[in-house]
Amino acid sequence: MVMSSHIVARKIVAPLPLPPGQEAAPLDGAAGQALVDEQISHMVAALKETSRQMREVYPFSRQPEAQRVSAGHTAVLLPCHNEAASIVRTIEGFRAAMPTARIVVFDNASSDNTAELARGAGAEVFFEPRKGKGHVVRRMFADIDAEIYIIADGDGTYDASAAPQLVDLVANGGVDMAIGARANVHQEAHRSGHAFGNRLFNRLYGALFGMDYVDIFSGYRAFSRRFVKSFPALSSGFEIETELCVHASQLMLATQEINLPYGKRQSGSHSKLRTFRDGWRILSTFAFLLKETRPALFFGGFAALFAAASIGLALPLINTWLATGLVPRLPTAIVCTGLIMMAGMSAVCGLILDSLARSRTEQKRMLYLALADRRR
């Protein structure tokens, strides 16, 4: 490799030889201009040869064969974990609704024959060994190339016939994320605890991130290519839907929800949701994403708590000092001083990190804009 690079360098800096039989001549008149044009042609040819050799010597711009995935107009992505009971019907439903779409099943460490059934039904099958929907979505968005992406669960609970509506919103409606809000989710598929939690988290999301959604946990969505290729996908599990919404809110991307029916699981297909475990993970994700995207609000809240505690403890001390000129509870005074210092530090940290978060948002926005949009 080093020897080849030296050869390239010599080609660039070596003087350009004159054609055989010609001698150096003054660069004047038509003959001089013709000689200059001929030397420029030699230089262009040498540069093209240099470029070719550089691509052979440093093949960093070429994508490995294992990672190349052919592009299609629309890709239907189905993450699955032990969905043998419903995957065939799900694939058939999307094939009927989207005959020209590319249907891809990502098997997420299934212990049944989900992959074999999906392949037999005509879908492409990929594997993600790390358990968790977030890991699967990250792999899907990295490996599949398309103009419009549809994500749905492989359990058959989403109405495949509604897929063209979501695609139309992205292709012709100018939105980057179309969400199929589950119209009858509480009556058909969820327990009462899940219904209450879903409403609570939707309202909490609106209060924290400033964008109201009817159903932030819907797994039925369509995306533009620019959305998919600019999405970092940091979550590992069920909370990935929350991160998708935060990404749209942070970059102020156009989104739209439409109410779609949500059915029951087929017999033999079991839900992977755990009420308390997933609820805690979603709350943790809210806190993490709030810290990353709105640090001024996150650290400002702690600053307000510390300041309120300090003032509440200090008021009796101040009244005693004004009345007697003494501070009888010195430890309390020290605690008040520490709390007010922590409040100031939290406020300053929030302001500094808010500037950094704004810079990162600008970079993500520039990446989003730099990605080619094939729709127009």
Regions of the chain where pLDDT drops below 50? 1-16, 57-72, 189, 375-376
What are the tens digits of pLDDT across the range 233-254? Answer: 988 888 899 999 999 999 999 9
Buried (b) or exposed (e) across 302-335, using 16+ Cβ within 10 A?
A: bbeebbebbeebbeebeeeeeeeeeeeeeeebee
What distance in Å separates the CA atoms of residue 292 and residue 50, rounded to the nearest whole number? 45
101: DSSP letter: S
Question: What pLDDT does 156 receive?
Answer: 87
What distance in Å separates the CA atoms of residue 47 and residue 98, rounded to the nearest whole number? 48
Q: Indicate the class that CATH gives domain 68-290.
A: alpha beta
Question: What pLDDT does 372 receive?
Answer: 63
Which tokens go with 165? Answer: 């509506």
What are the tens digits of pLDDT across the range 356-369? Answer: 999 999 999 998 99
Which tokens go with 9? Answer: 């360098």
Q: Compute the Cα dihedral for 188, 194, 200, 204 and give only its sign.
A: negative
What distance in Å separates the CA atoms of residue 339 and residue 270, rounded to the nearest whole number? 49
Q: Which of 221, 83, 238 is nearest to 155 (CA)?
A: 83
Q: pTM for the full model?
A: 0.72
User: Which DSSP string do the residues of 122-179 spell out, in sequence order?
Assistant: T-EEEE--S-SHHHHHHHHHHH--EEEEEE--TTS-B-GGGHHHHHHHHHTS--SEEE
Q: Where are the domains of the chain?
A: 2-61, 68-290, 295-370
Burial of residue 42 (CB within 10 Å: 0-12, 13-18, 19+) is middle
Question: What pLDDT does 11 receive?
Answer: 40
Question: What pLDDT does 14 receive?
Answer: 45
